[in-house]
Amino acid sequence: MSEQHASQLAQTLAMASEPPLRRLDAGELQRIGAELMKTRGVVAVAFFDANGSQLAVASVDPDIEQAGHAYFANPRERTAELGVPTAGWAASLGRYVELTSPVRQVSTAAQSSIDTEPIGYVTICLSQAETDARGQNVRLSVLLIGAVAVLVCVPMMYLLVHHVFTPIRQLVAATQRIARGELETSVAVDRADLIGTLARSFNDMVHRVRSQQSALAESNSRLETANASLAQNNHELEVEVQRRTGELQQANERLRQEIAEKDDFMRTVSHDLNAPLRNIDGMVSMLLNRHRDSFDADVVHRLERIQKNVEVETSLIGELLELSRIKTRRHKMEPIRIVEVVHEVSDLVSQDLESRDIRFVVDSDFPILVCERSRMRQLLQNLVDNAIKYMGPGSDPARLRAAGIELMSECAPGQLVREIHVGCRSDREHPEFFVRDTGLGIDPDDMKGLFRVFRRGKSPSVQCIAGKGVGLASVKSIVETYGGSIRVESLVGVGSTFRFTIDRKYLYVGSLPDTAKESPGQRAA
């Protein structure tokens, strides 16, 4: 406000002093300054010509009038401060605001102010004493009002805090008691406001916690009783397990002894049965060699039948002995290309395949297994031999297509399909092998005991086919030795598919040196 007042006074003074400044009338300027000293707040005024030379000075302090040129600076040397109020201070004047304004000549013809070169300058100083006094009064008033407000508000705040925080402190104290386990605690706060609602909710919570703790204590009591009963049962179970474990160990020991005795028995039976059979075979061969010409045809025929039966029984004893050794006597385990074993089997049965006009087809690639070559060859050969024996006349192509079986080649009208397919599917958890034929098929009544020893089909079509009932039992035993399972799918008049799996842990991870091998497809006809 002081700066704004100083700006207004400077503009008014510039307009009033314009005529004497134009005339450089120092006396008139001095008179104007003296008159201006009567205005409240004005403490000094100075007039300068266009060159900045001081013409007149008026002040409430005589020393400033005498100092004259030494007190006020040349306005021409501080043009950046023209029209800008600045703060100053003097011992005799106190704080004041100083403002220098240029005085310009006003054209009387146009009756308006036109910017021209200044004809002089005026400097006016306004005292800040009154403003300081007013500010001091305001500060005192503010302090007085603040003191009164404090004196009034402190008791009110105390009452308010006491009214609000006393029940809250009660809640805190009750919470601490509850934390120590004093669940009989409650808060006696009867109010209609939010704190009263909080206190009632707190009491309800304590009541529910007390009820839940009682229920929990009762549950713990029942649990302790149940734990005691469980501990007793566990003790009895441990005693029973120890007893059963002892019995199992004894049973295992007896089983090992029985297996050893069975092996001894099998070896003894094999030796004791083979010895007289060999003697019988030798005697029959000697009789035939020496007296064939002197014997009647009927006698020769009977001797040959004896010799044939001896061969069958000797073979059966050998197969039974081998069946008993499958799981007890392991051969060398090594990485084997199963496709090579398949080709070995096809070579072994090639004569039967050619004589019966059967196509042998390898349908897929085979993995490399870490296994016994002889057992794998025995497994596949038994299945292929079984397919050859029960091939019969073959299957009708139309029935095969209806069953979803793909044929290797087109057949002539009326021609039956006689094929054996061997392959593997490796897209499962464990590799699955299969041997499929287009033979007679298996009657559903014969499926249940198919893999048991001496079990053979009862239908007339298979009764006339020679067999001992040991081959499929050996296959199942070998498959189980390698952690797998075997199953059969069959349709009478369409054929049978034997599928077996080998545990994936027997898969060989790595590669073997390349050897000559045939690609999947027709192997023999």
Angle at 46 between CA 44 and CA 47, to 5 degrees: 155
pLDDT at res. 434: 95
Higher pLDDT, 229 or 330: 229
The answer to whether 446 and 459 have CB atoms below 8 angstroms apart is yes
State which H helix or E strand residue 362 sits in.
strand 359-362
Q: How confident is residue 524, by pLDDT bands cut at 50, 70 and 90?
A: very low
Backbone torsions φ then ψ of 395, nearest 5 degrees: -120, 150
Domain containing 459 — which CATH number?
3.30.565.10
Answer whether residue 56 is part of any domain: yes
Written as six digits, the tokens of 150 are 């404090």
Indicate whether 29 belongs to any domain: yes
How confident is the model at residue 107, as a pLDDT? 59
Beta bridge partners of 48: 54, 121
Query: What's the count of helices (H) and strands (E) in the chain, helices before strands?
Result: 13, 13
Q: How many CA atoms lie within 13 A of 235 on its CB side?
A: 5
Neighbouring C-beta atoms of residue 242, cutoff 10 Å:
10
Can you give the three-state secondary structure of 414-441, one letter per residue? CCCECEEEEEEECCCCCCEEEEEECCCC
Beta-bridge partners for 380: none
Task: Report the sign of the C-alpha dihedral through residues 90, 93, 95, 101, in that order.
Answer: negative
The last residue of a domain, from among 127, 147, 181 = 127
Distance between CA atoms of residues 206 and 212, nearest Å: 10
Instruction: Name the 3-class secondary structure at 60.
Output: coil
The letter for the amino acid at 414 is G
Count other C-beta atoms under 10 Å from residue 78's C-beta: 13
Q: Is residue 414 part of a domain?
A: yes
Sign of CA dihedral 13, 18, 21, 27: negative
3-state helix, strand, coil in the chain (%, to 5): 55, 15, 30
Give residue 18's Cα distance to chain centre: 92
- Give the tens place of pLDDT for each residue, 312-370: 677 667 666 666 666 666 778 999 999 999 999 999 999 999 999 999 999 888 999 99
CA dist 193 and 170 (Å) reads: 16
459 contacts 399 by C-beta, under 8 angstroms: no
Q: Evaluate whether 262 touches 324 at the Cβ level (below 8 Å).
A: yes
Among the three residues 127, 150, 171, which one is the final residue of a domain in this structure?
127
Q: What is the mean pLDDT of the chain?
A: 81
Residue 308 lies inside a defined structural domain of this protein:
no
Indicate whether 516 pLDDT > 70. no
CATH number at residue 35: 3.30.450.20
The domain total for the chain is: 2
Structure confidence by residue, pLDDT tens digits, 266-306: 666 666 666 777 778 788 888 888 888 888 888 888 888 88
Please check the confidence at residue 440 and state whether its pLDDT lies above 70.
yes
Rounded distance, CA 369 to CA 506, Å?
A: 6
Worst-scoring range by mean pLDDT, 182-186, 205-209, 467-471? 467-471
Question: pLDDT digits over 388-431, tens only?
Answer: 988 888 888 888 888 777 766 666 667 888 899 999 998 778 99
Cα-only R_g, the chain: 63
Least confident range of 154-163, 234-243, 457-466: 457-466
Strand partners for 477? none
Count of Cβ atoms closer than 10 Å to residue 285 Cβ = 13
At residue 525, the pLDDT reads 46
Per the CB < 8 A criterion, the answer to whether 106 and 114 are in contact is yes
Give residue 319's identity as a one-letter amino acid code. Answer: E
Rounded-to-integer distance, Cα 433 and Cα 338, Å? 10
Q: Is the pTM of this model over 0.85?
A: no
SS3 487: strand
Residue 43 lies in a domain: yes
Work out the percent of the chain whose per-residue pLDDT is above 90. 19
Q: What is the pLDDT of residue 115?
A: 58
Residue 421 lies in a domain: yes
Q: Is 76 a domain residue?
A: yes
Flag whether pLDDT at 111 surpasses 50. no
H or E element at residue 101: strand 94-103
Domain that holds residue 356: 332-524
Instruction: Give the pLDDT band of residue 449 (cuts 50, 70, 90).
Output: confident
Q: Which of the listed residues 106, 127, 148 is the one where a domain comes to its end?
A: 127
Comparing 411 with 179, the larger pLDDT belongs to 179
Residue 231, in any domain of the structure: no
pLDDT band at 129 (very low <50, low <70, confident <90, very high): confident
